[in-house]
Structure 1
Amino acid sequence: MQNEQSDRVIAALETAREGADVDLLARVVHENLWTLYDRHYEILLQAISELPGRTLERYSVLRALHPMTPALAASSAPFDASSLDDVEASETVRDMIVVLQILTSRWNGDLRGSAEYARVLRARIYDLAVPDRAERGSNLWLLHGAVGSALLLAGDTAGAVRELSTAREVARCSGSTNGERSVLGRQALAEVLRGSVADAQRSLAAARALPPLTAAYAPEAQAETIADLLVSLEAGGIEEPERVQQLLHLEPTAFTWSFVALAKARYFLLSGRPFEAIEAARVAASTHRTQDGTLPADILARVYIESFLMLGRERAAQRAALVVKEPGPLAVTALARLALARGDLDAAARYIRDLSSEAWSSPAREADLVCLRTWEVVARDTVGPESARRFASLVTNPHARRAVLSTPRWVVEAIVAAMPDDQRAIVDAAIEGLTFPELGRSTLNLTASERRVFAALATHARVADLASALFLSPNTVKTHLSSLYRKLGVSSRREAIEMHSVLISDPEAEPQVMVG
């Protein structure tokens, strides 16, 4: 049945070409979009490329599919997705039109608009009965896949996994190995971003058990490559030459560019090369439109903050943080780390509370929270058996190595020292040979309590206020102040506050931070 339909469509195209009837050619393409896209992609692009501009103006759907459209959208001529609203079409073609609106909005850098069209498409899928969708070889898997992809770039990883899983199953039932494999690659990206590393590995294995992708879907293979790299990086793997070479030479595409930037930056940070992580983020931001409140903006914000923090440039990290008006979970994690590094434990606690939101719940967030809470309790001198147990459990999880490696060395040493002997032996074995960053502890060798007093001096004028804010006795605060002044080489609160401003400032001129 499908082969007969394909033959009829190809014959109709030949008839239109032989008669030099461009309007007939346009109508045949318009009415058979899915068949041509799925089974004759190169023929589809060739037919659209043959159409003159005046014909494309009448068939805005075909203009959206023209090979030049995404290239122009990425530079200076965004495609007006709303121009497709009034196109007359069957319900099946209307589905494809909404998919095009999702795509063209994404090409324009309007990921919020893309997510809005995804909601429209999702409502059509679930509320509108279209008989053609139930047929073998239908485009239903593509519809679910388009919704899931838009949700992923909007930052809704849970919704993305749900829709992409449905798309994969529908593609399998429909007999589309192209559909199943292309969806599995994106599903693996969503899963590894959530920290569901074992699920991502299963998705990648299932994808590679399928036949290679054909021309229309070949670019989707890059999603598999990037997901595989991110899986390796979650385990702290940076020493495999072939993987590293793949990472350094990946070219960003319309869908995967922010994941490429994330993979490159994570590799450079794990390798102790923060300058190169910043450069990877800047190149990505300068060549793509980003939009606040979306996944790419969240990725870039975290890269900037963590890279500047690793360089000891806390002021530059703070400026990068201020650019983002709607931080997502990746940026909030970085903001919590920045607050902890500066000794602002109250701000860190607020970020940690925000990160605990149910809406952001995922294995990756849980790993980040364990590391952040460990840092906080060590900084507050409130380490207990439960915090030690949680950190020990995370350290022995092979899929959480990258999160563990973000914890400062002095924090790791303090939490390990607080563990029972049997637990400490297991953790020591797990972290043997690992290198942890030197963050949040100045060369002045201040204790955790002295750092807390140091950070609170500017906002609490009296000893009694400091004692109340830090839950310490006034005498304890006086002891910490005496030791703090001695180590700083100052004799007054005013001089200590001035010294704090010098220590957290970044004297270097900062390049422009390109986020949002």
Structure 2
Amino acid sequence: MGHVDVGVYVVLAGREAEQVSRWASQLNQEPSEACAALRAAVEVESVETLQGVVARHLWTLRDQCFEELTDAIQRVPGRELDDAPLLKLLHPMTPVIAASSAPFDTNTLASVDAPSAVARDTLVALQTIAAQWSGDMRASATHAEELRRRIYEESVPERAQRGSNLWFLHYCLASTLVLTGDTAAGARELATSRVVARKSGSTQGERSSLARLALVDVLRGSVREAGAALRAARELAPYEGAYTLEGAGTEAVAEVLIALERGEAVDLRQLDAVEPTAFTWPFFTLARARCALLGGQPAQAVEAVRATVAAHRVQDGTLAADILAAIYIDAFLGLGNERAAARAGLVVREPGPTAKTAHARLALARGDVDAAARLIEELSGEAWACPAREHEITCLLAWESAARGAVGAGVARRFAALADTPTARRILASTPAWVVQAVAQALPALARDDFEARITGLVFAEIGRSTVHLTASEQRVFDALSQHERVADLASALFLSPNTIKTHLSSLYRKLGVSSRREAIAARRTLVREEIGADLAEPRRAG
């Protein structure tokens, strides 16, 4: 899906300038007229009348008269809201109830009479949001497809008006695309939403679009762009009305995630006042978990996910499921419990790029280098291409090379280059310390000194320190070592030549960090004890 040329909505073929002028005049009068109609409907004390007025002025009331609209809806007795689905949709308690206990049935809105194309557009956009409240991203995607069709295939001249709802349509479409995992298309729609909002004179729309764009950019690893979007948002007028809660929370979470990518100190208290919404909660959880992991507190990351899962419905194949599975895997790896990490990874049947990256780290930590290589190849596909993925692949390739016993010069240079990338500090720090040491040894002396100077202050992961990554042949020699003292005896027992045994022993000793058969046998006993201990450690149930 490409960008929309905003000019398409400005060129009104066959329309007279007088008609365009009349639309603009009507728009300037509409907020006061909409509010007057709302007040009259409240005085009538008829829920049916009130819903009819709200439907007729839906966009204007939500966009410019939000407080008065909310007050009017809150006057409606709760038992009568079920007969007024539009009013129920706009009630401030509905998102909370939909997320925690009773999902909002968006199908009930089919009975609402939207008397204009603008009202129908707005209603479909709100349906995408309502489905997100309930965690039903499949329903949200269905409504978003209808919204996409309306935007790109239906001509609605009123969308050319200053203050129209067009930016909001792109904004809602973008949000569903992001939450269903298509962050690239979502970012494009948010960029379009921002442009349309600016051209139509909606400061609130422009700031809201920039804030969400900052979140998506930082998730994709475009950290500089995310920072620029956040700064541009904060140069605009403060949020008002319907955009206040969502906007402030989005910007706070984006600021934390940007700082974490840059390796900067973060005070999580700035998130204490944030009330996560249907769009922001996966990012909110990611921020808290990443902070815990970088701070060496993986147990806190696990608890952050557990608290989130208890409060939200999570569907497989969504951005939220992808993020939560990755956090679980990385947190249990940080706790040294590979079995729990593996079980956590199985919770998601359709892992996205974030979870698949965590799966690759798990495979490497467990010594399954070939499985990790296959996952790295999958991650390299164009469908998931973005800066974050490229940085993560570089780190995984360095780990894979170190696990195989030899870091190539090209891989070492690519990895060392990340140290020159200020926005890749978090990803760089996720690499095990022993891998970083192996990379440093593979660099020329001058490059090594420069690399070590640039990574000063970074605390690298302790993943896989007790795991020795051996080939199948090396493992056979390792297992037989305690039973045969001489090379000739090993060769005879394993049906290999003495020279082959010597080659395997040389590689084995290097990977173990030992220099003799006696030291290798002692190291094997230690590794066996650690493996048995991990098997006996039964984690709390994930999810």
TM-score between the two structures when normalised by the length of structure 2: 0.85
The alpha-carbon distance between structure 1 residues 249 and 79, as it changes in their structure 2 partners (threshold 3 A), is: closer
- The yes-or-no answer on 1:162 pairing with 2:162 is no
Is the aligned partner of 1:65 residue 2:86? Answer: no
Check if 1:509 corresponds to 2:533.
no
1:450 to 1:13, Cα distance in 2 relative to 1, 3 A: closer
The yes-or-no answer on 1:362 pairing with 2:386 is yes
**Please, which of 409, 422, 433 is the counterpart of residue 446 of structure 2?**
422
Question: Which amino acid letter does the alignment assign opposite residue 502 of structure 1?
Answer: E
Counterpart CA distance in 1 for 2:272 and 2:296 is 15
> 291, 296, 302: which one pairs with 1:267?
291
Seen in structure 2, the aligned counterparts of structure 1 residues 327 and 205 have a Cα distance that, compared at 3 Å, is same
Q: Which residue of 1 aligns with 2:400?
A: 376
How do 1:393-412 residues align onto structure 2 when only pairs under 5 Å count?
Answer: 393-412=417-436
Q: Which residue of 1 aligns with 2:119?
A: 93
Mapping 1:41-440, distance limit 5 Å = 41-52=66-77, 56-89=81-114, 90-219=116-245, 220-238=247-265, 240=266, 243-247=267-271, 250-440=274-464
Normalising by structure 1, we get a TM-score of 0.89
Shift of 1:376: 0.5
C-alpha separation between the residues in 2 aligned to 1:482 and 1:393?
30
Pair 1:13 & 2:38 matched = yes
Contact 2:477 2:505 (8 Å CA) reproduced: no
Q: Deviations over 1:213-233 (max 9, x none)?
A: 002110111111111110000
User: 1:256-285: per-residue Cα shift (whole Å, max 9, x none)?
Assistant: 111111000111111111111111111111
- Select between 473-482 and 110-119 the one with higher mean Cα deviation: 473-482
**Cα distance in 1, alignment partners of residues 256 and 314 from structure 2:** 23
Alpha-carbon distance in 1 for matches of 2:518, 2:391: 38
In 1, are the aligned partners of 2:477 and 2:501 still within 8 Å (CA)? no
Give 1:186 shift: 0.5
Gap runs ≥5 in structure 1:
none
Asked if the contact 1:308/1:314 (under 8 Å) is kept, the reply is yes
One-letter code of the match for 2:263? G
- Aligned residue for 1:499? 528
8 Å contact 2:63–2:241 — kept in the other structure?
Answer: no
Quick one: which amino acid aligns to residue 383 of structure 1?
Answer: V
Report the number of matched residues.
Answer: 498
1:395-442: CA deviation from partner (whole Å, max 9, x where unpaired):
110000001101111111111111112211221111112221222131
Aligned AA (1:24): T
CA–CA distance in structure 2, aligned partners of residues 490 and 226 of structure 1: 49
Q: CA deviation at 1:81?
A: 1.2
Instruction: State the Cα RMSD in Å.
Output: 2.9
> Please, which runs of 5 or more residues in structure 2 have no aligned partner?
1-24, 480-489
C-alpha offsets along residues 444-491 of structure 1, whole Å, 9 cap, x if unaligned? xx5x55798349999xxx999x999xxx95653466679988556489
Do the aligned partners of residues 249 and 57 (structure 1) sit closer, same or farther apart at CA in structure 2, a change above 3 Å counting?
closer
Alignment-mate amino acid for residue 286 of structure 2? L
Q: Which residue of 2 aligns with 1:38?
A: 63
Query: SS at the partner of 2:453?
Result: helix
Q: Find the structure with the greater CA-based Rg.
A: 2
1:24 aligns with 2:49: yes
**Higher mean C-alpha deviation, range 135-144 or range 421-430:** 421-430
| CA separation of 1:366 and 1:23: change in aligned 2, threshold 3 A | same
Equivalent residues of 1:191, 1:199 under 8 A apart: yes
Q: What residue in structure 1 maps to residue 487 of structure 2?
A: none
Distance 2:271 2:52 in 1: 43
> Aligned letter for 1:129?
S
